[in-house]
Structure 1
């Protein structure tokens, strides 16, 4: 391999143009006197309909947009508390509420507007249509079981059932995410450079603990090995699997592992890549009564379903998440429609996905599914480099159900979901003796629930924790200012720094962490 060519120097070099990386790129480049370079392995996908149209998300899996990582098969006190993160949760998003009738239908009385974001770049909204009675019945059933929402979930002190918001622009019905909300408005800044197709090989380090310096990044750009030097800091925002792998490739990790792969140890830290956590999920699909609309006819390409969906066309885009049974907005033309339904079907017909075990696949009946997600698992896995070759995928083992209490708790959670299904008013929309998605879905007792979980539980893609923010002797990789232990100017900013997995979708916490990190970095500039 030829010697790396040194590119121009920047003040900040950010590795990874995902959620956290693009938040940082936007905020740090607000100062025109500071130069920022983002190294992103992928391409600009702002105009890719697979990204922008929320319903197409399953079409991204296993493509050139997906790292396609595989896991092993499964048989200190600081100012990072709720009060310090709360303003950053509010800062990143804007809440768009539906009309009052829809709010009542979705049971949104719990919303406290004082807690909601009102000027952030990420647009959020609630999905659901009044014509579908199931969302309201779902919330009302929890009320009947005395499990209704006690307060706004964004208060940090709430339990109970509620309708969740989505990062979908309520006006355009398109996905609102870091590229559209943070990167796009900042791309015209002369001090911000985003380099696509940049495959980072390692971080260049010098000096020694506790003040080792990260001075550059080696990357393959356009087929050529190049070095981007950093005047001030290097920020690793490559995600829960790539961030620990890049630290290990750079000589930061467990010395025995690095030695095994022929990598010299720069900083010995056995915590790198450990503490992997995830939200595990499963679901049961129940046959609904005849007058309830679901997405099943669309997945079966039934002509009437195609016609009905086209009649609801609004602006050529599609939004389909959680509570919304059928809210398809299609571009005119048979070709576009056929492509759409292929995308929708992929989520429940992928033979390699555990989802296929509990999703109704091309059956004549119509189904609605109730999902069960484990929010605070005790099982912890790991992710490490598998080779000295930077292009090799990491080795991942989430160790699902390795702690026995996880299966005990989640199986009872699943039984509780079945109890909700049998509670009025939601129960009236399921056929009493209706079919279910799988022969093992006829769950009668705790043992049945456990077996169903072992057979069908899968990831929610909420993995986090592999560069945990803790003291080093307690399993940490970064300190409370997100600096890698033993270095003075190398930070990690992504979901890998979570010591414990949050209860909700990890994306919102990544946004909050990235916003706070931007302020920490600016204060140190």
Structure 2
């Protein structure tokens, strides 16, 4: 069974100069959360979300303003599936109790309005199109890359679908992000760091999951095959190289220490070949595995039908990210919740339980 890689991820960390200044007047447009509407966000629900720290954080403001300065102002609701540009993303933290809000706390654990303060790891994002291919010569370069690395026959349909996304200059193919931490190092440096990175939204590489034994207690054989499709290296490297442009642009550049340290000896990616080397050396999983049991026709490799039932069974359902035929371009958390809510409704229908 094949499995889509969960959005390969590569980043670099730079030392920063922390500002010591009082909070300024806050406006939604400052951190690009003016896309939020009452209709879109709702007024109730079991899972809470908030913008912990974003309003107070000058780097969040610098991130979105820098994206505007380099030509990537947010074009719409980032959760609509079609917007591009920089924005501040909510995290699943209860705005009142300041504790994590998730399926376990919402459905299974006793209500608890006290506890440790917490914050999400990443709140500054940007959905990015492939800037290198925006010109006529870039379009020709993209066509040559697809000609050089054709699809395997068994994966032709998915490959062609993803190709239409890469060929559309208005579609996002990478997710840029920023967070205050060091990445990918065993020996933490004592200085203050900010990490800038890129996640490939539509990886063409596919791994595999296979049964290892007739003994159900034995773990399966999982081979993610990261970057096994060379196009992923080509695309990710170009996105990563653009992160240098973001790091060198104002106002974000004013927070990065001139001549400061990078967390990896290869972390300066000025040209494409250097970016490719860095991607091959440092890329890790985005930890959002999906698509190993897709909801598709059985003759095309599908495992479950529209009722989430495993083909050939009467009462065995799969309810997790594995049923997604393609990886969503955003974090899979809310999509998994949606699958679970749908499964609950299907089970109720089977047993004639009123919703």
Normalising to structure 2: TM-score of the pair? 0.70
Is residue 292 of structure 2 the alignment partner of residue 492 of structure 1? Answer: no
| Residue 328 of structure 2 is aligned to residue 502 of structure 1 | yes
Pick aligned residue for 1:321 from 118, 121, 125: 121
- Counterpart CA distance in 1 for 2:228 and 2:42 is 38
Which of 390, 393, 399 does residue 216 from structure 2 map onto?
390
Q: In structure 2, do the counterparts of structure 1 residues 392 and 500 end up closer, same or farther at CA, with 3 Å as the change threshold?
A: same
* Cα deviations by residue, 1:216-252 (Å, 9 ceiling, x for unpaired): xxxxxxxxxxxxxxxxxxxxxxxxxxxxxxxxxxxxx
Q: Select 1:356's aligned residue among 169, 181, 184.
A: 184
CA distance 1:515–1:316, change in 2 (3 Å): closer
In the TM superposition, residue 510 of structure 1 has moved relative to its aligned partner by 0.3
User: Structure 2 CA distance, aligned partners of 1:446 and 1:512?
Assistant: 39
| Structure 1 counterpart of 2:267 | 441
Q: Contact (CA 8 Å) 2:91, 2:120: kept in 1 or not? A: no
Residue in structure 2 matching 1:124, options 25, 30, 49? 49
Q: What corresponds to 1:234 in structure 2?
A: none
CA–CA distance in 1 between the matches of 2:56 and 2:49? 22
- What is the RMSD of the two structures over their aligned residues, measured on CA atoms? 2.4
Q: Residue 494 of structure 1 contacts residue 513 of structure 1 at CA under 8 Å; is this kept in 2?
A: yes
Q: Which residue of 2 aligns with 1:450?
A: 276
Other structure's SS at 1:370 match: strand
Q: Distance in 1 between matches of 2:308 and 2:260?
A: 52
Show the counterpart of 1:412. 238
1:137 aligned to which of 51, 56, 62:
62
The answer to whether the Cα contact below 8 Å between 2:30 and 2:65 also exists between their aligned partners in 1 is no
How far did residue 102 of structure 1 move?
6.4
* Shift of residue 362, structure 1, vs aligned partner: 3.2
Question: Aligned in 2, Cα 1:487/1:102: closer, same or farther, shift over 3 Å?
Answer: same
- Unpaired stretches in structure 1, ≥5 consecutive residues: 1-99, 187-313, 325-346, 349-354
Give the Cα separation in 1 of the matches to 2:304 and 2:37: 35
Name the larger-Rg structure. 1
Partners of 2:117 and 2:58 in 1: CA distance: 24
How far apart are residue 160 of structure 1 and its match?
Answer: 1.6
Structure 1 SS opposite 2:322? helix
Q: How many Å separate the matches in 2 of 1:510 and 1:320?
A: 19
**TM-score (structure 1 length as normaliser):** 0.48
Alignment of 1:231-250 (within 5 A): none
C-alpha separation between the residues in 1 aligned to 2:92 and 2:210? 31
1:150 equivalent in alignment to 2:83: no
Question: Following superposition of structure 1 onto structure 2, how do residues 167-206 of structure 1 map, counting pairs within 5 Å?
Answer: 167-184=92-109
In structure 2, the residue corresponding to 1:396 is in which secondary structure?
A: strand
Task: Count how many residue pairs are aligned between Structure 1 and Structure 2.
Answer: 270
Contact 2:32–2:74 (CA<8 Å) still a contact in 1? no
1:154: Cα distance to partner? 2.7
| Structure 1: 4+ residue segments shifted above 4 A | none
1:377 maps to which of 178, 181, 203? 203
Whole-Å Cα distance in 1 between the matches of residues 60 and 203 of structure 2?
A: 28
**What are the equivalent positions in structure 2 for 1:35-114 lying under 5 Å apart?**
101=26, 103-114=28-39
**Which residue number corresponds to residue 297 of structure 2?**
471
Please tell me whether the aligned partners of residues 112 and 152 of structure 1 are also in contact (alpha carbons under 8 angstroms). no
Q: Alpha-carbon deviations, 1:60-116, whole Å to 9, x = none?
A: xxxxxxxxxxxxxxxxxxxxxxxxxxxxxxxxxxxxxxxx82645422112122112
Unaligned 5+ runs, structure 2: 1-24, 125-180
Aligned partner of residue 105 in structure 2, secondary structure: helix
Note the C-alpha offset of 1:128: 2.1
* Cα drift, residue 445 of structure 1: 0.8
Q: Which structure shows the higher strand fraction? A: 1
Q: Quick check: 2:47–2:92 contact (8 Å CA) kept in 1?
A: yes
Q: CA deviation at 1:419?
A: 0.9
Deviation, 1:321, is: 2.1
Flag the 1:137–1:151 CA change in 2: closer, same or farther, 3 A. Answer: same
SS of residue matched to 1:372: strand
